[in-house]
């Protein structure tokens, strides 16, 4: 019954690329048996969960929202999916995204844009727009997405929900299609901060299939934090950035309220944070280009019909299979990695990456969290045209968190017009419980 309703609703919203009817029914039967046999029940028993379509569920189509992988059915499964199923969750579908997670609106999806359930004339955000919408349209309670530069926190915000990207290394990336390996981390959108912590705790853990997965056992350690004991830093470049006036007003209102209640809220100077967007695009595109090289029509992906030699096979398959944004990033990435430019751009960007880490390190000597808006603009209209640079610039608050591998949670704050801004709380590496506890207090 739920599945029927979801299918009906989704005709309009387009949160899902695939609704996993067979898998859901199979799970339901298994859970039924478990109940009958009075077996132990998992922590997510019967909870409907959606999975972003760049995360592999065995024998279910995984498209990454690309024509390149339109018919790809993985014979393997992401480690995080194993863990979710082991806790008796019901996976109900694979959600829409910007092609290979590159974007902020799902407008880059080969399967069409996802509409925002709060206002269907607006985008649901991205790249995990389908994840955000799947929870906002009440088709599931929790959604798993991926966050390379804000792709979980921003769509959560656009859909009026909390979302979290944990510390890099918390959750295994095995079975998750790589965009930029040193930035990518699975994350969660849900109805409240405690639910996020529950699912993150289930998904975390070391994994021999991913050497960067160390595990992280702090998600259970949420605390009630007294507002008067809070130590909050606000970075200068986030205060001074261009913002929607309603968001600016709301954000200042929040800061004033926190101060009123006795919290320590200070504006801090940072040296490198302001360069986050440039650094992000140099380093991320440098990782994207080689990651995308496996999709050549021979090893993986769409294969062109007519070709006279192998070079033409590659060229044609890739021209047909990839959308504009993916091509743009492959070209930029290849360009900046070329021999004479790598020193000029890539090496310098790596240095600034460390500078950004140092900025945070210094802040965390005196403060528990960095607070900023998650995103400086409201969900925009679906037919609003924007240049790539306009879109990229809006990521100034989300991307530094991935550059430094830190955890960050975003909690929604109403703007009074039916839309929300996000309050983003970032804490120190592997202290995810700190930003989650703050987030719970601000919910
Ligand atoms: N909006 C960012 C980008 O386009 C974030 C993408 C992501 O986190 N996957 O790169």
Q: Are 228 and 262 in contact (CB under 8 A)?
A: yes
pLDDT of residue 343: 87
Q: What pLDDT shows up at residue 34? A: 96
Say what the pLDDT of residue 403 is. 98
Give residue 1's pLDDT.
73
Please state, for a pLDDT cut of 90, what percent of the chain lies above it: 97
Per-residue pLDDT of the chain (443 residues; tens, 9 = 90+): 788 999 999 999 999 999 999 999 999 999 999 999 999 999 999 999 999 999 999 999 999 999 999 999 999 999 999 999 999 999 999 999 999 999 999 999 999 999 999 999 999 999 999 999 999 999 999 999 999 999 999 999 999 999 999 999 999 999 999 999 999 999 999 999 999 999 999 999 999 999 999 999 999 999 999 999 999 999 999 999 999 999 999 999 999 999 999 999 999 999 999 999 999 999 999 999 999 999 999 989 999 999 999 999 999 999 999 999 999 999 999 999 998 889 889 999 999 999 999 999 999 999 999 999 999 999 999 999 999 999 999 999 999 999 999 999 999 999 999 999 999 999 999 999 999 999 999 99
Q: Which superfamily does 1-443 belong to?
A: Amidase signature (AS) domain (3.90.1300.10)
* Cα distances (Å, whole numbers) of residue 49 to 88, 151, 157, 191, 355: 10, 18, 19, 12, 38
Q: What is the pLDDT of residue 339?
A: 80
The CA 27 to ligand 1 mean position distance, Å, reads 32
Q: How far is the CA of 132 from the centre of ligand 1 (A)?
A: 15
Domain boundaries, the chain: 1-443
| Residue 247 buriedness (CB in 10 A; 0-12 / 13-18 / 19+) | buried
Our mutation pick for probing the ligand 1 site, out of 55, 124, 129, 150, counting the most ligand atoms within 8 A of Cβ, is 150
317 is catalytic: no
pLDDT at res. 2: 81
Residues across the chain: 443
As beta bridge partners, residue 165 has 408
Task: Let me know: does 384 contact 399? Beta carbons within 8 Å.
Answer: no
66 is catalytic: no
Per-residue pLDDT of 166-211, as tens digits, reads 999 999 999 999 999 999 999 999 999 999 999 999 999 999 999 9
Residue 101 CA to ligand 1 centre (angstroms): 6
pLDDT at 88: 97
- Decide: 187 in ligand 1 pocket, CB within 6 A: no
Ligand 1 pocket, residue 179 CB under 6 Å: yes
> Does pTM surpass 0.90?
yes
Give the pLDDT confidence of 341-365 residue by residue, as tens digits: 898 899 999 999 999 999 999 999 9
**ipTM computed for the complex:** 0.98
pLDDT of residue 369: 98
Residue 197: name the closest of 363, 441, 440, 442 by CA: 440
């Amino acid at each position: 019954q739920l599945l029927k309703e979801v299918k009906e609703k989704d005709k309009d919203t387009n949160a899902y690329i695939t609704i996993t009817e067979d898998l859901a029914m199979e799970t339901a039967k298994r859970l039924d048996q478990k109940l009958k046999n009075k077996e132990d029940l998992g922590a997510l028993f019967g909870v409907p969960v959606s999975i972003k379509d760049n995360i592999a569920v065995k024998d279910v189509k995984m498209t990454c929202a690309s024509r390149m992988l339109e018919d790809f059915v993985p014979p393997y499964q992401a480690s995080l999916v194993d863990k979710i199923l082991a806790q008796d969750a019901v996976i109900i579908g694979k959600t829409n995204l910007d092609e290979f997670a590159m974007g902020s609106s799902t407008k880059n999806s080969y399967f069409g844009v996802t509409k925002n359930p709060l206002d269907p004339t607006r985008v649901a955000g991205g790249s995990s727009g389908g994840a955000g919408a799947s929870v906002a349209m009440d088709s599931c309670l929790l959604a798993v997405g991926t966050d390379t530069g804000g792709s979980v926190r921003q769509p959560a915000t656009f859909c009026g929900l909390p979302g979290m990207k944990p510390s890099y290394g918390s959750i295994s990336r095995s079975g998750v299609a790589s965009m930029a390996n040193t930035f990518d981390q699975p994350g969660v959108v849900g109805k409240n901060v405690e639910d996020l912590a529950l699912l993150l705790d289930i998904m975390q853990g070391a994994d021999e299939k991913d050497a960067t997965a160390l595990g992280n056992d702090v998600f259970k350690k949420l605390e009630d934090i007294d507002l008067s004991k809070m130590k909050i830093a606000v970075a200068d470049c986030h205060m001074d950035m261009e913002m929607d006036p309603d968001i600016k007003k709301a954000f200042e209102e929040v800061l004033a309220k926190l101060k009123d209640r006795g919290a320590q809220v200070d504006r801090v100077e940072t040296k490198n944070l302001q360069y986050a967007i440039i650094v992000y695009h140099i380093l991320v595109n440098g990782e994207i280009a080689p990651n995308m090289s496996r999709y050549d029509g021979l090893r993986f992906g769409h294969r062109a019909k007519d070709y006279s030699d192998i070079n033409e096979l590659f060229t044609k398959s890739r021209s047909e299979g990839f959308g504009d944004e993916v091509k743009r990033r492959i070209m930029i990435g290849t360009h900046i990695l070329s021999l004479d430019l790598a020193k000029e751009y890539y090496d310098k960007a790596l240095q600034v990456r460390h500078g950004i880490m140092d900025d945070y390190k210094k802040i965390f000597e005196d403060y528990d969290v960095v607070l900023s808006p998650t995103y400086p603009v409201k969900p925009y209209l679906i037919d609003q045209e924007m240049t790539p640079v306009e879109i990229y610039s809006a990521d100034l608050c989300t991307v530094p968190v991935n550059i430094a591998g830190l955890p960050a949670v975003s909690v929604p704050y109403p703007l009074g017009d039916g839309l929300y801004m996000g309050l983003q709380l970032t804490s120190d590496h592997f202290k995810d419980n700190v930003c989650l506890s703050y987030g719970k207090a601000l919910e």
